[in-house]
Amino acid sequence: MFTPLVENSRFHSSVGKIVCVGRNYAAHAAELNNPVPDQPVLFIKPADAACDLTQGVQIPDGLGAVHHELEIAVLIGTRLSHADEQEVSVALAGVGLGLDLTLRDVQSQLKEKGLPWERAKAFDGACPLTSFVAVDRVSDWTSLSFQLTRNGSIQQQGNSKDMLTPVLALIAHISEVFTLNPGDVVMTGTPAGVGPLECGDRLELSLEDWLATTTEVRQA
């Protein structure tokens, strides 16, 4: 089980479930020819999907294209159930970045058949995470900038102001559907610019001036 770092100290709980949000940026929905949803699109990755991004991003072999989806990741600190935004704001333990790795060819095939697509999203290692910084650094959840550079070129660049459902409202909504426990992680959606990874790619991820992480793509 993966236990994250918060401000360079081990969190008191390993990562539990990872609640992910699809199509929370209109530009990303458009690039995949998906309609903009009228409420958050939710799906879950299991705990074994979480791994340490700094140890390398491992992509499966023989399953087609593996796409990166850079997202702001929020670590839950205390239990949330049917919470309002104020309750959410004091229950968060950390903010960092994660990659929602997606087997795009597998996902497309499953979608065409009307089948669930956990195989494309929830495999072991499908959610590499950075360390987290304490949430007291955040003065405005609606103005967080983040970026992914691949082999020296900017691949994804986003700001939480462009989210269809902002962070605190999003987590409050999720808590009405799933109880969130300490160690759970919320992946808040990806901006436009998703694309395939190749072995040997060098990735640089940054969140504001709080986090800057470099890693490499490897074969699983």
Kindly report the pTM of this predicted structure. 0.96
Question: Does the 5-219 domain belong in CATH 3.90.850.10?
Answer: yes
Determine the pLDDT at residue 26. 76
SS3 129: strand
CA distance linking residue 11 with residue 1, whole number of Å? 12
DSSP E strand stretches across the chain: 5-6, 9-10, 18-22, 41-45, 50-52, 57-59, 66-68, 70-76, 92-99, 102-103, 127-129, 145-150, 153-159, 185-187, 195-196, 202-207, 211-219
Q: What is the mean pLDDT of residues 199-205?
A: 98
The residue ranges of every structural domain in the chain are 5-219
Instruction: Please compute the mean of the pLDDT values over residues 191-203 and round it to a whole number.
Output: 96
Summarize the confidence of residues 146-161 as an average pLDDT.
97
pLDDT of residue 29: 57
Check whether 67 has a pLDDT greater than 90: yes
| Coil vs helix vs strand at 204 | strand
Tens-place pLDDT, residues 138-151: 999 999 999 999 99
Give residue 28's pLDDT: 73
- For residue 112, give the amino acid letter: E
What digits encode the pLDDT tens for the residues 115-130? Answer: 999 999 999 999 999 9
Q: What is the pLDDT of residue 37?
A: 77
What are 22-44's pLDDT values in tens digits?
Answer: 889 977 756 766 677 789 999 99
pLDDT of the residue at 30? 66
pLDDT at 35: 75
Question: Cα separations (Å) of 102 from 64, 130, 161?
Answer: 10, 18, 24
